[in-house]
Amino acid sequence: MSYKEKINTSNLPSHIAIIMDGNGRWAKKQGKLRMFGHENGTKSVTKTVEAVAELGVSHLTLYAFSTENWNRPKLEVQTLMKLLIKSLKKEIKTLQKNNIRLNAIGNLNALPNKVLTELNDVIDKTKNNNRVVLTLALSYGSREEIISAIKEISDKVKNNIISSEKIDESVINEHLYTRNLPDVDLLIRTSGEQRISNFLLWQIAYAELYFTDVLWPDFSKEDLYHAIVNYQKRERRFGKTSEQLN
């Protein structure tokens, strides 16, 4: 029996987030340059997006490029940006066919103009799709996101738009990049690394974490199904006891 057959479709995570790690190591194993891994990693993105749509998961967020990634060698960053443009142009058909809406979070103004133009174009063309919201985290860093939210809220308090006594979780949520997204239910990281790497720190407060040794270019639909089956075996208590849930 495949993992897909074991999935309880009435208990799907509504929001899956993935740290797509291992492209460089995958390429090195093939005796190739890092970009070969990044290029093949885009195939895993397509498979994962299709699998999520087929299952009925409503939100998928992919960590595509972090604020720290700008510190990588200049040539690699430039090539990644070119690959992003190419992928957006190529994937528009897949998004439309599967009724998927593209979204993006992060310090998007830091992206090159060509990337931002292509990104906004695909976002606009898919804005009426409603089967899945696919969010790309680009030039994204969770600490930067939280700092930005604090600054915005502070300005509003200073200008008497918000009372400091009224600041709660919902107010903070409204000032994050993810203000229109639900909290993450399942966070997946590939490649065997077991850390969060400044990704959605606020939003994963009660997410189930799943780490796999599979390198991202090898990540298949079956690997995603395995992660979901694992998720469904866990008891999500949100601070309560098992007895309270029962």
- Widest pairwise Cα distance in the chain: 60
User: For residues 59 and 135, is the Cβ–Cβ distance under 8 A?
Assistant: yes
- First-to-last C-alpha distance (Å) of the chain: 30
User: For residues 108 and 33, is the Cβ–Cβ distance under 8 A?
Assistant: no
User: For residues 107 and 144, is the Cβ–Cβ distance under 8 A?
Assistant: yes
The contacts of residue 192 (CB under 8 Å, 6+ apart) are: 22, 211, 212, 213
DSSP character at residue 155: H
Q: Angle, nearest 10°, between helix axes 221-232 and 34-55?
A: 60
- Known catalytic residues are 21, 69
DSSP-assigned states of every residue in 205-217: TTPEEEE----GG
DSSP character at residue 101: E
User: For residues 186 and 208, is the Cβ–Cβ distance under 8 A?
Assistant: yes
Pseudo-torsion of CA 127, 129, 135, 138, nearest 10°?
A: -40
